[in-house]
Homo-oligomer: A and B are copies of this chain.
Amino acid sequence: MAAPAPVSPLAVPLPALPPLAGVRLAAGAAGIRYQGRTDLLLVECARGTTVAGAFTRNLCPGAPVDWCRAILPAGRARGLVVNAGNANVFAGRAGLAAARESAVAAGRLLGCPARQVFLASTGVIGEALPAGRIPAALPALHAALAPDAWEQAARAIMTTDTFPKAATRSARIGGDEVRLNGFAKGSGMIAPDLATMLCFVFTDAAIPAPALQSALSRAVGASFNRTTVDSDTSTSDTVLLFATGEARHPSVPERGGRLLAEFRAALDDLLHDLALQVVRDGEGASKLIRIAVTGAVSSASAKRVAMAIANSPLVKTAVAGEDANWGRIVMAVGKAGEPADRDRLSIAIGGVWMARNGAVAAGYDEAPVLAHMKGREIAIEADLGLGTGAAEVWTCDLTHGYITINGSYRS
């Protein structure tokens, strides 16, 4: 019951991100909310960069999300501006004006139209973004743009995050190697049906925007949309994927196709890595939980059951308390509203099947399960015994840390 640890016990080391042809970054301080840290990021992309995006499905999105949605169809990007501390959400016309002002200022510095500058903001909702603060800070960032500022970028966008989150992968397109670098932030207000808080991925591949969007949508569905920290869908969730086209490889057709198979796999893997880093930094998290549901009537049904387990406060607090309380998993399966039959349901924790076909498994020994519960990574399996639908989702436990962080976020 101490104050939350300064760094999540589930944190992973920050990987070194190599430079990526066509991308330069700079972090700085706009002084909007935080003192003594960076809170503003400027990214410059090479001419010809294509872009794909995925945004929150929250119906009260922030002004930067509206901005990105409006400019995304052109599929072209030259810049990205991200600020942390103020989400520019529910700020009315002033919010949209502040967003536009940032894009115009960045476009002027980068030598491109404002509509090629993507924006994201994260932080408190409902407070006006102080006018002019971002445009005033951007020239210094522009002067400092560098190809190796990935760590600084990952740090500048953090809010309640306790560690910076980044990942890098490579893939071949027609035998030629391309690189993917990505970073993300997110810790609370993390739930499915969205694209987590903020995630930015860059590749030097040359990929037409439609193929890029298709690869991104698939990867988001298999990664961020299968994680949840607290079931609360943010108003600002944004995933953007920029392809600078600086790498040399066979030309990729509009629709992508088989030439992109390895690229798509690397993108899936990278987004999965970043999504799990977000869950590992779930507010107050002390354990990472993998929930695998099998035997459902469909994979969509399996996902909904898995999410019902992942979002159950009683399951999450039981894991926090290292209590192998599988009865709460039964409850969560039953409340999901999906086809389920108590008398075919089986539950395992840490690979030990505790309940089989609606009752305690014969000879069930709790000892190995209790040992598993003491670890940092908890595996929950539920087999519904109805069909072949399967899904896997990730979440974290619900601890005193979550209450402490969110009972005093603004103060």
| Residues of A that sit less than 8 Å from B by CB | 1, 57-61, 87, 89-95, 124-128, 188-189, 191, 193, 230-235, 311-314, 317-318, 320-321, 323, 325-328, 330-337, 340-343, 345, 354-355, 357-360, 398-400, 402-404, 406-411
Contacts and interface: CB of A to CB of B under 8 A. Distances in A.
Given A126-B355, A360-B126, A58 B334 contact: yes
B331 A189 contact: yes
A321, A335, A340, A410: residue with the most chain B Cβ atoms closer than 10 Å: A335
A55 to B, nearest CB: 12
Contact of A327 (B57, B125, B188): B125
A314 B359 contact: no
A91 B359 contact: yes
Contact of A400 (B191, B330, B400): B400
Nearest to A315: B232
B410 A335 contact: no
A400 B193 CA distance: 28
B59 A323 contact: no
A307 to B, nearest CB: 12
Contacts of A231: 231, 311-313
Interface of A is mostly: loop
Contacts of A335: 57-59, 191, 193, 232-233
Contacts of A399: 403, 407
Given A59-B334, A317-B403, A318-B407, 19 more contacts: A58-B335, A59-B342, A60-B342, A87-B327, A89-B331, A92-B343, A93-B359, A126-B355, A127-B327, A127-B360, A188-B314, A230-B313, A231-B313, A235-B334, A321-B408, A325-B410, A398-B403, A400-B400, A400-B404
A291 B234 CA distance: 20
A296 B128 CA distance: 27
A232 B314 contact: yes
B92 A331 contact: no
A61 B342 contact: yes
A325 to B, nearest CB: 6
Contacts of A410: 323, 325
Contacts of A61: 334, 342
A125 B325 CA distance: 8
B189 A407 contact: no
A234 to B, nearest CB: 7
A321 B406 contact: yes
B58 A233 contact: no
Interface centre among A57, A94, A233, A411 (most CB of B within 10 A): A233
A232 B320 contact: no
B403 A355 contact: no
Contacts of A359: 90-95
Contacts of A358: 90, 92
Would you list the 8 A-B pairs with minimal beta carbon distance, nearest first? A125-B327, A92-B359, A321-B407, A60-B334, A317-B406, A233-B335, A58-B334, A126-B327
30 contacts: A59-B341, A59-B342, A60-B345, A61-B334, A87-B327, A90-B359, A90-B360, A91-B360, A92-B357, A92-B360, A189-B314, A230-B314, A231-B311, A232-B328, A232-B332, A235-B330, A235-B334, A313-B398, A313-B402, A317-B402, A317-B407, A320-B403, A321-B408, A323-B411, A325-B409, A325-B410, A398-B403, A399-B403, A399-B407, A400-B404
